[in-house]
Amino acid sequence: MTGKAVTEFVAQGATGRDKPVEELSEAEAADELTTLAAAIRHHDDLYYREDTPEISDADYDALRRRNEAIEAAFPTLVRADSPSHRVGIEPAAGFSKVRHRVPMLSLGNAFADSDVEDFFARVRRFLSLQPDDPLTVVAEPKIDGLSINLRYEHGRFVQGATRGDGSEGEDVTANLRTLDDVPERIDGEAPEVLDVRGEVYMTKRDFAALNERQAAAGAKRFANPRNAAAGSLRQLDSKITKQRPLRFFAYAWGEVSKPIAATHWDSLRRLRAWGFAINPLAARCNSAAETLTIYRKVEAERGALDYDIDGVVYKVDDLSFQARLGFVSRAPRWALAHKFPAEQAQTVLEEIAIQVGRTGALTPVAHLKPVTVGGVVVARATLHNPDEIARLDVRVGDSVTVQRAGDVIPQVLGPILDKRPANAEPYRFPEVCPCPLGTPVVHEDGAVIARCSGELACPFQQVERLTHFVSRNAFDIEGLGDKQVRSFFERELIRTPADIFDLAETDKTSLTPIRKLEGWGDKSVENLFAAIEDRRTIPLERFIYALGIRQVGQATAKLLARSYGTLPAWQQVMLAAAGERQEAPEVKKPDLVGEHYAELCNIHSIGTSVADEICSFFSEPHNLQVVRDLEERLEVQAATQPETGDSPVAGKTVVFTGALATMSRGEAKASAESRGAKVAGSVSKKTDYVVVGADAGSKAAKAQELGVTTLSEQEWLTLIGRDG
Ligand code: IVH
């Protein structure tokens, strides 16, 4: 890497206006303070509300520093809405939380026609449909807004909430009451309890008018209609929301006390009869080919529509099919979002900076001349890894094509060779990490991943690990974001996760207490300590996810939590498995490594590669210390089992073998898991049932040998209460 890129990473600094403060005239200073106030507010919004920062922390800090320097030089010009008067964004704290009775899920994505054909094939296979059995889906535009749950009780609107993390959102009832599309009362007969779901959005025309008004008032302009809708709905003062023209399309439902129809299509019709706006482009289709025709039609109309859409959603129409198909992870098997192709633009690659991740992986990041792509300003794009840069042969100074697909991180597609400057040099990946240790870079996985070899000693990695630990899906500590973690780390207030829970104590004896630091005051420190206290009790799945074990994302953390129940139980098996793995590092077959290791691999969808990462985490004494220190300070709650009613198979381990007659293997697995059973791939002493289909082989024999109960397919269906 060039020396310039290293400095860039460490001290990325420019605000775009580099006239020294001493040389500014009063008019220039006032003008710049206005721009800075709007810019900082904009970045605060992206960071705190949207979780999609556009600029690095260092660039953000530089904006704030510039603002403070000008204010210090021109104290009479300090604005009433000066960013120095606040840290982060206050309103978010003002909404109370709402737990969704039925989780609000996301959708699986498709980009190619073949993904849609695969979806049809997958659904047919899962439901064991014959080639001539009909399969109807409803195709609807995917509205680019924010999803909302509207709760009606006895026909009256009682509560409205944002999606939040899917399980818990924010109560924005008062703001939703200001929307004409949200009926206060439902006309006609409705179930006693009815959660109506759909998208709040702003039309393109209203968005443009709002931005004009914002500009005229010297307030910030919104980047796109979606952000404008989000910002407008999350106002603490609903009088402001009322002035913002928001709309709502209904397309789904959550908890209902009585089924509303037998098909999705008829449900939409009922929602319409009750007074909700239903998107007029929704259509029924009977094959992949028909849905693709609708997709092209909607895509052709996209530009002329007065609201943003980013694809077409397909939903299996028959609700009894939907019930059988169920969910995987956080998305239903019965629906698919077919996205429109990404939007592209050309700009100049100004610099390649290196970012150090939580696990030490070095990610090259393209710093671009800001350019608008599909309505959003893009200034950064990932270059993934050294191989990708070599493959693209992008060079600093090149004109490049960038693309943005939905909320995916922008990507550099490649250089425009005709425009390459004569002096552009091929990029050389740095041989040492930009972290203060300057340790050598090692290349893994056939050189695809470059990693800092500083491991646990690397301060960049330590900070990233702490940031992950407090992030939204982990400990989710309000008021403790990247910036605060970095600042506390630099001051040696926190070094390991456990330090966070000692912070209030450490602070008492600290030479510079936090409340004296820039951006903090008595109240915000008090709130921070309260937020930390609040997280002393934490669900096991969040705890596991927060540890930041490679390859253990939210879904895997949940599986582990459900499978082992409590922290001591999980830890004990992981330590045993790690010990077994150390004894037999090269052995491929899990069974031959050891009993605990095999048990771990046997959990649905955890393979040897994830299991090996977990074992390597538990083989590192430092990590064990981190877990022990946390254990002393926290109450880790046992995992809650999925709603299984009084299912006789809850907690049991089941193995399916041979060909099943009435359902596919996928449906069989789902039928067991949704009732709280674990599905394993091989038979052991711990197996409770082996369900034997036609032509079963060695597994049935092994069950006999070990004395494990075997069931016919019919017996299984009777056991789970699905025998007609
Ligand atoms: S259905 C269980 N239908 O897309 C599935 N979602 O990527 C529930 N969205 O969070 C969602 N238009 O905000 C559905 N016609 C539509 C949609 C739609 C937009 C959004 C929604 C959801 C996201 C999932």
CATH number at residue 305: 3.30.470.30
User: 406 CA distance to ligand 1 centroid (A)?
Assistant: 13
C-beta 332 within 6 A of ligand 1: yes
Q: Using the atom order of ligand 1, give the atom closest to the CA of residue 106.
A: 24
C-beta 264 within 6 A of ligand 1: no
- Look at residue 466 and tell me if it is in a domain: no
- Look at residue 481 and tell me if it is in a domain: no
More confident residue, 563 or 337: 337
DSSP labels for 457-502? G-HHHHHHHHHHHHSTTTT--TT--HHHHHHHHHTTS-SSHHHHHH
Mean pLDDT of 563-588: 94
Please name the residue that has the structure tokens 């809850």.
Answer: 650
Q: Using the atom order of ligand 1, give the atom closest to the CA of residue 282.
A: 15
More confident residue, 167 or 485: 485
User: 107 CA distance to ligand 1 centroid (A)?
Assistant: 7
pLDDT on residue 445: 64
User: 309 CA distance to ligand 1 centroid (A)?
Assistant: 11
C-beta 337 within 6 A of ligand 1: yes
Nearest protein Cα to ligand 1, atom 9: 142
User: 312 CA distance to ligand 1 centroid (A)?
Assistant: 10
The verdict on 126 and 263 lying in the same domain is yes
Nearest protein Cα to ligand 1, atom 16: 142
| Pocket test residue of 137, 147, 265, 314 for ligand 1, highest count of atoms within 8 A of CB | 147
* Domain CATH code at residue 585: 1.10.150.20
pLDDT on residue 407: 52
C-alpha to C-alpha distance for 661 and 84, rounded to whole angstroms = 68
Nearest protein Cα to ligand 1, atom 2: 105
User: 176 CA distance to ligand 1 centroid (A)?
Assistant: 18
Q: Name residues whose C-beta falls within 8 Å of residue 552's C-beta, 6 or more positions apart in sequence.
A: 544, 545, 560, 610, 613, 614
- Look at residue 535 and tell me if it is in a domain: no
Neighbours of 349 (CB within 10 A): 23
Whether the predicted pLDDT of 196 surpasses 50: yes
Task: Supply the range of the domain harboring residue 52.
Answer: 3-86+342-446
The verdict on 108 and 80 lying in the same domain is no
Q: Using the atom order of ligand 1, give the atom closest to the CA of residue 331.
A: 2
C-beta 147 within 6 A of ligand 1: yes
pLDDT on residue 34: 85
Mean pLDDT of 235-258: 92
pLDDT tens across 397-454, in order?
A: 999 999 876 555 788 999 999 999 999 999 999 999 998 888 889 887 666 788 888 8
Q: How confident is the model at residue 43 (pLDDT cuts 50, 70, 90)?
A: confident
The verdict on 660 and 611 lying in the same domain is no
User: 174 CA distance to ligand 1 centroid (A)?
Assistant: 23
> Per-residue b/e over 402-425, b at no fewer than 16 CB within 10 Å?
bbbbeeeebbbeebeeeeeeeebe
| 32 Cα distance to chain centroid | 35
pLDDT tens across 373-405, in order?
A: 866 778 999 898 888 899 999 999 999 999 876
- Look at residue 645 and tell me if it is in a domain: no
* Domain CATH code at residue 675: 3.40.50.10190
In the three-class reduction of DSSP (H, G, I as helix; E, B as strand; rest coil), residue 565 is classed as coil
Mean pLDDT of 142-171: 93
Which are the catalytic amino acids? 142
The verdict on 349 and 395 lying in the same domain is yes
Q: Which of 588, 605, 637 is the last residue of a domain?
A: 637
161-165, 215-219, 245-249, 302-306: segment of lowest average pLDDT: 215-219
- Look at residue 169 and tell me if it is in a domain: yes
The verdict on 440 and 560 lying in the same domain is no
pLDDT on residue 382: 86
Whether the predicted pLDDT of 255 surpasses 60: yes
Residues forming beta bridges with residue 367, ordered by sequence position: 351, 380
Per-chain mean pLDDT for the chain: 87
The verdict on 53 and 106 lying in the same domain is no
Whether the predicted pLDDT of 636 surpasses 90: yes
pLDDT on residue 311: 94
pLDDT tens across 279-325, in order?
A: 999 999 999 999 999 999 999 898 789 999 999 999 999 999 999 99
Dig out the tokens for 232 from the structure.
Answer: 């407008």
pLDDT on residue 82: 77
Q: Using the atom order of ligand 1, give the atom closest to the CA of residue 109.
A: 7
The verdict on 223 and 137 lying in the same domain is yes
Helix (H) or strand (E) holding 149: strand 146-153
Q: Which of 637, 671, 696 is the last residue of a domain?
A: 637
The verdict on 141 and 201 lying in the same domain is yes
Dig out the tokens for 215 from the structure.
Answer: 């500009």
C-alpha to C-alpha distance for 253 and 578, rounded to whole angstroms = 45
- Look at residue 555 and tell me if it is in a domain: yes
Whether the predicted pLDDT of 350 surpasses 60: yes
- Look at residue 524 and tell me if it is in a domain: no
The verdict on 150 and 58 lying in the same domain is no
C-beta 449 within 6 A of ligand 1: no
> Per-residue b/e over 461-486, b at no fewer than 16 CB within 10 Å?
bbbbbbbbbbbeebbbbbbbbbbbbb
Q: Using the atom order of ligand 1, give the atom closest to the CA of residue 335.
A: 5
* Domain CATH code at residue 365: 2.40.50.140
The verdict on 270 and 360 lying in the same domain is no
Nearest protein Cα to ligand 1, atom 24: 106
End-to-end alpha-carbon separation of the chain, Å? 67
- Look at residue 335 and tell me if it is in a domain: no
Q: Give φ, ψ of 659 to 5 degrees.
A: -85, 130
pLDDT on residue 56: 64
pLDDT tens across 594-626, in order?
A: 999 998 988 866 788 899 999 999 999 999 999
How many separate domains does the chain show? 4
Judging by DSSP bridges, how do beta strands 247-256 and 193-201 pair with one another? antiparallel
Q: Which of 297, 328, 359 is the last residue of a domain?
A: 328
Q: Using the atom order of ligand 1, give the atom closest to the CA of residue 146.
A: 13
Q: CA neighbours within 13 Å on the CB side: how many for 327?
A: 14
Whether the predicted pLDDT of 630 surpasses 90: yes
The verdict on 313 and 351 lying in the same domain is no
C-beta 252 within 6 A of ligand 1: yes
Mean pLDDT of 709-724: 85
Q: Name residues whose C-beta falls within 8 Å of residue 36's C-beta, 6 or more positions apart in sequence.
A: 15, 63, 66, 67, 70, 83
C-beta 162 within 6 A of ligand 1: no
The verdict on 135 and 277 lying in the same domain is yes
